[in-house]
Structure 1
Amino acid sequence: MESKSRVLVVGGGAIGGLLAWRLSHSTTHTVSLLCRSTYNQIKSHGIPITSLQYGNATYHPESLHRTIDDAIAHATSFDYILVTLKALPNIYDSSEVISKAVGPGTMILLFQNGIGVEEPFLKRFGKGNPVVSCVSFVSVCKENREEEGGRLGGWRLRHGGFTMVVAGFANEQHTNEDLQKLHNLFAEFQRSGGIDCSIKSDIQVYRWQKQILNGSTNPVSVLSRLSCQEMVRHKRYRRMLEDVMAEIFAVAESVIKGKLPGTNGIVDPPAAISYIEGIEAPVYTSMLEDSLNKRHMETEVILKNPIDLAEKHGVAVPHMRALYESLLKIEQAYEK
């Protein structure tokens, strides 16, 4: 009997929880979930999920761990490691976090937001392991739950009606075996989890496509304290979003030397605004959640790296620069 492929999902937040849940239905893959700050709730109560696409459920991971050491004590090697940690290169190195679990042949898949997230992984593992850059187009967030009497009762995942993953190899070279291995995982995501997955040779084009929404709604939501839908209904914040989106389009097209693919019909700022207006469930960004809880935000990969590329390519991005400086000041105020 052929052994099952071993998958480790590192990060128990919105994306990590959703991916682990969908792949947990597989009969050919086993899933281990590693989470730190969310470990206690998941251990005690599982992950409550409301999903327009998949229905409602409570996901109880078969294999749950708080640390990498715990995970490798349970399974000495993994075929796949899915990294869903927040990308905070100014705080910690995500590649170092997973290093003990990476063995010969382990495929590393990066489900992280922003631009330039692949670099630390390529530097540490790129010569010996396939590194895959993954872009997820999905509306999912953690939200607080209320029990009877209005008391907060932990959190749940709220997921919309659409999930798509686009991926490509970050390594300069990869083998046919690597490609087949990625196909096998994505075929299982499709079969058992109902997630639309595709492999692209120009993955950075799609990473920039997602940046249109990520790089605008995230930082603006920190200033506004509003959901994405509320921001586009507010005259001042709607204009701010449009201005930032226009800058991201300009940087993206300079970097990739062409047009973005227009995923979900997002071909310009007005189309991006219309897309947000069409999302049924309220969307609160991860940056807003981090800011409200006085946690470090993904300012480097969402704003600083694109700003650096804008400067390299001679693109003016005054709104992005202003947002970056504003978010740094907000973080500095945490300690006061």
Structure 2
Amino acid sequence: MSTVYVFGHKNPDNDAIMSAVVLSQLLNQVNYDGNEYKACALGALPAESAKLLTEVGVAEPEQIESVEAGQLVVLTDHNESAQSVEGLKGAVVAVVDHHRIGDFETAAPLHYICLPWGSSCTIVAKLFEVLGQQPTDVQAKLLLSAMMTDTLMLKSPTTTDVDRAMAAKLGQQVGVDPVKFGMEVFLSRPSGSFTAAEMVGNDIKMFEPAGSKLLIGQYETVDKTRALGMIDEIREAMRAYAADKDADGIVLCVTDIMEEGSQVLFEGDTELAQKGLGIADEHDGVWMPGVLSRKKQVAAPILAAAE
């Protein structure tokens, strides 16, 4: 028997955390391949994740920075090496994800599930059905929380009919309205106390279009007014974060859930990003109505522009 680490991407969001936590529980329940599965995290937990896990009495996943030679891992909510830890080569035995497939390569076949649904937790919820299991109320609540935050309460263009149906099913199980529950989870974030550095770095991913290193971050809020009053501080934090990560450029989307759009800021070498999004760099950022999904509406057109 081996101990297999299960974890999502760096700078984890709620979907990265809950998919790792609940998937590891599911795999242990069915004694999958005779291994023991341990949830881990590649960074500090988001406030909403920590709060939910405490409320339901589930231990927070252990934070790790790398994996040792011989360690087996399951990736959730990502598959690109730039978004993961050192030491992945030869370590990955499975992937459960809902993003594009980037630089992923293995020497041997593996379990790989990648579906264009709105949340990795939607896929995990489906895996309960596939493996003949019924999620507990606690598991259903954790899965639903991530499904709702990752789809922005089912408003994101990444949301599918599968997400809506699964959200309704899990909501019925735990006796909540999915959208109202999701908003409660979202509002548990201490948004009023976020510093400029936290706005930039709490939810950010590295991409490598055309051989360059581009960071794309997203700060979600129900009122962008405070963030727009901190533009100079945010831009300084963007430059500092890009320098620390040795990135060529950085894009930040200040996403207002209520107004359903994003204010987009650029720093560094972002000519390709500006081309992909069809906008220019302006000091206060550019408002892009309807842009809620980093994956589908920001990263995808930027990466397409590099082809």
Structure 1 length normalisation: TM-score?
Answer: 0.37
The structure where helix makes up a greater share of residues is 1
Bigger RCO of structures 1 and 2 (CA < 8 A, at least 6 apart): 1
Structure 2 length normalisation: TM-score?
Answer: 0.39
